[in-house]
Amino acid sequence: MIKARIAVFWVVIALIGTSAAEVYRSVDEHGNPVFTGQPQPGSEKIEVQSTNIQSLPPARSVPIKSPPAQNATNRYQTLNILSPANDTTLRNTMELVIKVSISPVLLGQHSLVFLDNGKPLGEPSKNLSMLVKEPHRGAHLLQVKVVDTQGQTLMASETVTVHVHRTSVLRSRSP
């Protein structure tokens, strides 16, 4: 009996959804009400009221709040020279590649400056690596700095020492 009433309820809901359709009610041989869209012998037409429709208020725009500005000097968490490793010795090499990692990523207005013995290796750039051609013999103290557009240092890596050894052609060998 309950299943029949639930079924009738859904039929009525479905028929109400079609506002232009006519609804007829009749009772079957077991005494259950039957709702249809077609007239049946002994059925009566039911007046279906229009659906209650409410329009939503117009959507209002809500400004998106940007996160609070971070102090640029505190923005970066890590800045490391990945290679070469500290205290590396390079023998008879013609190139030295310096690779860097930074976290989080470099901001658009910031750049990296690669230093060799405190002197810049070229202009500030966005590249995370630097190629040094024909490094001189001796110790090289490598460091990388994050700088802003005015050249102010925001963060600096630890210094990495690299030793470059070259065989001299001027040195004669003993027989």
CATH classification code of 72-165: 2.60.40.10
Tokens of 20: 């232009």
Give me the residue spans of the domains in the chain. 2-46, 72-165
Question: pLDDT by residue for the chain (175 residues), tens digit each?
Answer: 666 666 666 666 665 555 456 888 888 888 888 888 888 888 888 887 777 777 777 777 667 665 555 555 568 889 999 999 999 898 888 888 999 999 998 888 899 999 999 999 989 999 999 998 888 889 999 999 999 989 899 999 999 999 998 887 666 565 5
Tokens of 84: 């070469």
